[in-house]
A and B are shown apart, each in its own frame.
Chain A
Amino acid sequence: MEIKILGTGCPKCKTLEKITREVVAQNGFQAEIIKVEDLMEIMTYNILSTPALVVNGKVEIKGRVPSAEEIKQVLAKY
């Protein structure tokens, strides 16, 4: 799967990226993680607040940093 972390570089966005990478590594998900910092590209996902977690083009979580467990549940669906 393809995971995108949307965020312009605020501390929360970095936290989300870190947690996501940990979850992917610990659970052996086959995923490519891309950090999107370009504002124009971020805005194509129609979100209002960063950070956001996008999996295979679908916005799963936006505007907050979820727990590792929640990310695991989201990723397990794919």
Chain B
Amino acid sequence: MEEKKRIRLIVAVAVVLPALICLYYFLPQIVDLFTYDLLGLSSGSHLGTSVNFFFYDTVKILILLFLISSLMGVVNAYFPIDRLRNYLTTKKMYGLQYFFASLFGAITPFCSCSSIPLFIGFVKGGIPLGVTFAFLITSPLVNEVAVAMFLGVFGVKATLIYAASGIFMGTVGGFILGKFKLERYLSDWVKQIQAQSEIETEKWEGEKTPFIDRLPSIIRDGWDIVRKVLVYVLIGIAIGAAMHGYVPEDFFAGYLSADRWYAMPLAVLAGVPMYANAAGIVPVIQVFVAKGVPLGTAIAFMMAVVGLSLPEATLLKKVMTWKLIGIFFGTISLFIILLGYLFNFIL
């Protein structure tokens, strides 16, 4: 890229980034001004509060989505997944490899179409199955969309709990699955690859394109994510707003409350086959929480929906037997249920 274009890019980032942060910071006042003064809705009316809530939530979440997606893109430019594989195969980790694989699952943007090449690439590089599972558990569970949605809807504390417990679950889950000696349940062709696997000796090669020249496509990717989930965010918030008005207070408290022990497994088992974009499900879950479902049960349900799904199972079928998929899903569901009880206990 020419020097002129680079300078223009830096100036643009230096202007837009602080502007977005300011907008985020003063958003409540701006939205109040818009709904009550400009649209002339009365601040006490039901319609006024709903419109205000809708605009505030949507804009807030979109800003967060854009910033977090771009940030993850930057992190990834410095730490691509190839580099992790290189670390995992060449360095002695003393058990920490499960944690690192899980952590990286969290910071790499998740794309379901990439999960199979990644799985095979790990197996091919001689990385143990348990470590690969650690990555595979956290990758869909903690991703930029889920984090941005959680941050926008539930705040910092719940987001930290969600992300930390997701990484913890990947670490422990990968470790335990690794102990089961599950290699024999891989598909035949993956077994062959594994037999031929070799420890990578080649040094990890960095990108040749300088970071600044990759920045435009990183920002564009961040914007693409926002555009792609926009419709889910809008639908989720609209359903949430509608439920706020029509579902009676404490509606769910009756049968999903914390003192009914069977509520947790029910919520998780209902969530596993479901697949919903984190963007659409979080605003709905917020209403569940507002109407009496304990936050722990809600987080567990969300983990089951986002982390495990039938489409994912059919994808994994390319590399695993149904038995292995069953063991994988069963173990993770159990973990989510236990985590859910723990959340309800400590929150």
6 contacts between A and B (CB under 8 A): A10-B114, A13-B113, A49-B114, A62-B82, A63-B114, A69-B1
CA separation between A12 and B109, bound complex, in Å?
Answer: 13
Cβ-neighbour of A43 out of B111, B124, B214 (below 8 A): B124
Question: Is there a chain A Cβ closer than 8 Å to B120's Cβ?
Answer: yes
Does A76 reach chain B (CB closer than 8 Å)?
Answer: no
B34 at interface (Cβ–Cβ under 8 A)? Answer: no
> In the docked arrangement, what's the CA distance between A64 and B207, Å?
12
A21-42: CB near B (< 8 Å → 1, else 0) gives: 0000000000000000001101
Most buried by B among A13, A39, A48: A48
Distance in angstroms between the alpha carbons of A49 and B82 in the assembled complex:
9
Q: Are B116 and A39 in contact (CB under 8 A)?
A: yes
**Minimal Cβ-Cβ distance residue in B for A10:** B113
Total B residues in contact with A, Cβ cutoff 8 Å: 25
Cβ of B183 under 8 Å from chain A: no
Contact call A50/B114, Cβ cutoff below 8 A: yes
Other-chain contact of A12, B111, B120, B122, B193 (Cβ < 8 Å): B111
Segment 51-78 of A: residues with Cβ below 8 Å from B: 62-67, 69-70
With A and B bound together, what is the CA distance between A50 and B117 in angstroms?
8
Contact assessment for A50 and B113 in the assembled complex, using a CB-CB cutoff below 8 Å: yes
Q: Are A43 and B221 in contact (CB under 8 A)?
A: no
Indicate which residue in B112, B121, B221 contacts A46 across the interface (CB closer than 8 Å). B121
Residues of B within 8 A of A (CB): 1, 80-82, 85, 111-114, 116-118, 120-122, 124, 189, 193, 209, 213-214, 216-217, 221, 318
A31 to chain B, nearest CB (A): 20
Measured CB to CB, the residues of A under 8 A from B are 7-10, 12-13, 39-40, 42-43, 46-50, 62-67, 69-70
Question: Closest Cβ of chain B: how far from A51's Cβ, in Å?
Answer: 9
Contact of A64 with B121 in the complex, beta carbons under 8 Å: no
A48 touches B85 (CB 8 A): yes
Kindly state the separation between the CA atoms of A49 and B120 in the bound complex, as whole angstroms.
10
CA gap between A42 and B189 in the complex, in Å: 14
Question: Which residues from B are CB-within-8-Å of A65?
Answer: 217, 221
Instruction: Identify which of A9, A12, A47, A69 contacts B117 (C-beta below 8 A).
Output: A47
**In the complex, A49 Cα to B116 Cα: how many Å?**
9
Report chain A residues within 8 Å CB of B121.
43, 46-48
The answer to whether B116 and A9 touch across the interface, beta carbons within 8 angstroms, is no
Question: Within 8 Å CB of B113, what residues of A?
Answer: 7-10, 12-13, 50
Residues B209 and A49 in contact, CB atoms below 8 Å apart: no
B81 touches A66 (CB 8 A): no
Which residues of B have CB within 8 Å of A8? 113, 116-117
Contact in complex: B189, A40 (CB < 8 Å): yes
Name the CB-closest residue of A to B318: A39
Question: Which of chain B's residues have a CB closer than 8 A to the CB of A12?
Answer: 111, 113
Residues of A within 8 A of B209 (CB): 66, 70
Query: Which of chain B's residues have a CB closer than 8 A to the CB of A40?
Result: 189
In the complex the two chains form, what is the Cα distance from A70 to B122 in whole Å?
28
| Given A47-B121, A70-B213, A70-B214: 20 more A-B contacts, CB < 8 Å | A7-B113, A8-B117, A10-B112, A12-B111, A39-B120, A43-B121, A46-B121, A48-B114, A48-B118, A48-B122, A49-B80, A49-B117, A63-B81, A63-B114, A65-B217, A65-B221, A66-B214, A67-B217, A69-B1, A70-B209
Which B residues are in CB contact (< 8 Å) with A49? 80-81, 111, 114, 117-118
How far is it, in angstroms, between the C-alpha of A11 and the C-alpha of B273 when the chains are bound? 24
Q: How far is the CB of B145 from chain A (nearest CB, A)?
A: 15
For residue A49, which residue of chain B has the nearest CB?
B114
CB distance from A16 to the nearest CB of B (A): 11
In the complex, the chain A residue whose C-beta lies closest to that of B108 is A49
Cα distance, A64 to B191, chains bound together (Å): 28
5 interchain residue pairs of minimum CB distance? A10-B113, A48-B121, A49-B114, A48-B81, A48-B118
